[in-house]
Amino acid sequence: MSAYDAIVIGAGHNGLIAAAYLARADRRVLVLERRPIVGGACVTEEVWPGYRVSTAAYLCSLLRPEIVADLELTQHGFEVYRRETSGFAPAHHGEKLYFYPDADRMRAELERFCAQTPEDVDAYFQFEADVEKVAAVVDPFLMREPPSEAELRAAFEAAGIIALYEPFLHASVRDLLESRFRNERLKTMLATDGLIGTYGGPSTPGTAYVLLHHYLGNILGSRGGWGYVRGGMGQITQALAKVVTAYGGEIRTNAEVERILIEDGQAAGVRLADGTEIHADAVLSNADPYHTFSKLAEDVITADSNAHWKKLITQGGASAKINLAVSELPRFTCLPDGPIPGPEHLGTIHLGPDMAYLEKAWEEASQGYPSTEPMIEMYV
């Protein structure tokens, strides 16, 4: 008999969620984590004395409420709270735009900001209404196997919104927004949700869906709301780890997996960097696809598919995150001196003046080097 029903490689949030559900179902599950702490990219670390930082992931929205309820995460220390300001976009020439989760405040801000394009105010709320319609159709698919395109189209047709299918699922974020808005700064700020973390630019087909995906979360009880986790993002994975062990699962840190063992074409366990072999009926990888298929399990990639897989999993990342400890909060030249902290410090700070700027940043990245003037999202 195998020592375990399942081995999970990596104690990131996805791996821990999988392990928690397996343990809850009375499966013998072992999580193996290379680092001395659990969390993966969802972690809180003291990188400088006295500063505890969410070093990688930084906001919470897309964690499914079903998972929070099923695994009773709030009982294990998970708490997320709403940001007073959703976003802030400063500009060199004194222009500024705030985004608020409250509809009345948002309308008043847009009426101020879009004085030259007043039609953009109603267009914004129509856009939000259409996002809600599309999200209501897409949302049920997120807790099941990925649908075929025919299934998705049928769901849009059944909901009476087939006209929204192509713009939101296939188009570029630039095409989606330019068909609806005139104000360049407003379009640019909205476009960032279609680009963050994505290997593509404003005109890349499919980036409209990336924007939509950022609206799908409802961890705060309302569509598209993003919040901060009290204690940092590591509180999510700490809570998940407690659930895994509470249900009898096992987590080992400082346990680097060197190889996935393959027998008769099936995963049969893992070999650790120290030579230890551990057997299991199934192996789940929470490592990234490149590391999983090029380092841990290259045996499963046939000669015929090797080139295809290599192309899919080696094109590189789109993001870098820099964490800084600062002596004081930033001030912005577009704002008069005022109370610190102000609403500009409480949400996402968007740096990127127009679509041409975003296009140039992507053009440089697509050539294989870091953008000289990248799109930046800043958080305090």
pLDDT, tens only, 204-259 = 999 999 999 999 998 988 888 899 999 999 999 999 999 999 999 999 999 999 99
What is the pLDDT, as a whole number, of residue 186? 95
pLDDT at 303 > cutoff 90: no
For residue 319, tell me if it sits in a domain. no
Considering 313, 337, 355, which residue would you say is the last residue of a domain? Answer: 313
**237 & 292 share domain:** yes
Tokens 């924007």, residue located: 211
What is the pLDDT, as a whole number, of residue 2? 67
What is the CA angle 320-321-323, rounded to 5? Answer: 155
Which long-range contacts link 50-54 to residues 24+ away (Cβ below 8 Å)?
51/325, 52/231, 52/232, 53/232, 53/323, 54/229, 54/232, 54/233, 54/234
pLDDT at 305 > cutoff 70: no
What is the pLDDT, as a whole number, of residue 290? 79
For residue 307, tell me if it sits in a domain. yes
**115 & 218 share domain:** yes
**216 & 234 share domain:** no
**106 & 201 share domain:** yes
Of 204, 70, 219, 223, which is closest to residue 134 (Cα–Cα)? Answer: 223
DSSP string, 265-283: TEEEEEEETTS-EEEEEEE
**30 & 61 share domain:** yes
Tokens of 51: 């500063």
Gap between the Cα atoms of 350 and 332, Å rounded:
12
**11 & 48 share domain:** yes
What is the pLDDT, as a whole number, of residue 1? 54
Gap between the Cα atoms of 96 and 106, Å rounded:
13
**29 & 115 share domain:** no
pLDDT, greater one: 340 or 304: 340
pLDDT tens string 87-100: 999 987 788 999 99
Note whether 43 and 122 are within 8 A (CB).
no
Gap between the Cα atoms of 365 and 374, Å rounded:
9
For residue 339, tell me if it sits in a domain. no
**296 & 202 share domain:** no
Gap between the Cα atoms of 297 and 138, Å rounded:
33
**204 & 241 share domain:** no
What is the pLDDT, as a whole number, of residue 317? 72
What is the pLDDT, as a whole number, of residue 197? 86
**53 & 108 share domain:** no
Q: Whole domain around residue 111: which residue ranges?
A: 102-224+347-378
Which long-range contacts link 139-142 to residues 24+ away (Cβ below 8 Å)?
139/216, 142/64, 142/216
Gap between the Cα atoms of 335 and 91, Å rounded:
10
Gap between the Cα atoms of 231 and 290, Å rounded:
31
For residue 323, tell me if it sits in a domain. no
What is the pLDDT, as a whole number, of residue 235? 97
**57 & 115 share domain:** no
Reported pTM = 0.92
Rounded to 10 degrees, what is the CA torsion of 305, 308, 310, 311? 180
Of 125, 88, 119, which is closest to residue 104 (Cα–Cα)? Answer: 125
What is the pLDDT, as a whole number, of residue 310? 64
Gap between the Cα atoms of 226 and 154, Å rounded:
30
For residue 327, tell me if it sits in a domain. no
- Looking at residues 175-193, what average pLDDT do you find? 96
Domain CATH number, residue 272: 3.50.50.60
- Looking at residues 2-29, what average pLDDT do you find? 96
What is the pLDDT, as a whole number, of residue 41? 94
pLDDT tens string 137-151: 999 999 999 999 999
Task: Give the Cβ contact number of residue 15 at 10 Å.
Answer: 25
What is the pLDDT, as a whole number, of residue 132? 95
**147 & 175 share domain:** yes
| Cis, peptide link before residue 341, omega less than 30° from 0 | yes
Note whether 17 and 249 are within 8 A (CB).
no
For residue 281, tell me if it sits in a domain. yes
Note whether 105 and 366 are within 8 A (CB).
no
For residue 94, tell me if it sits in a domain. no
The chain-wide mean pLDDT, for the chain, equals 92
What is the pLDDT, as a whole number, of residue 340? 85
Q: Quick one: angle between helices 119-138 and 103-113, nearest 10?
A: 140
Instruction: Please give the share of the chain, as a percent, with pLDDT higher than 90.
Output: 79
Total structural domains within the chain: 2
What is the pLDDT, as a whole number, of residue 252? 98
pLDDT, greater one: 106 or 316: 106
Considering 268, 292, 313, which residue would you say is the last residue of a domain? Answer: 313
pLDDT confidence bin for 295, thresholds 50/70/90: confident
The answer to which of 17-31, 125-139, 149-163, 306-320 has the lowest mean pLDDT is: 306-320
- Looking at residues 323-348, what average pLDDT do you find? 90
pLDDT tens string 19-73: 999 999 999 999 999 999 999 999 999 999 999 999 999 999 999 999 999 999 9
Considering 291, 313, 335, which residue would you say is the last residue of a domain? Answer: 313
What is the pLDDT, as a whole number, of residue 17? 98
pLDDT confidence bin for 312, thresholds 50/70/90: low
Gap between the Cα atoms of 340 and 329, Å rounded:
7
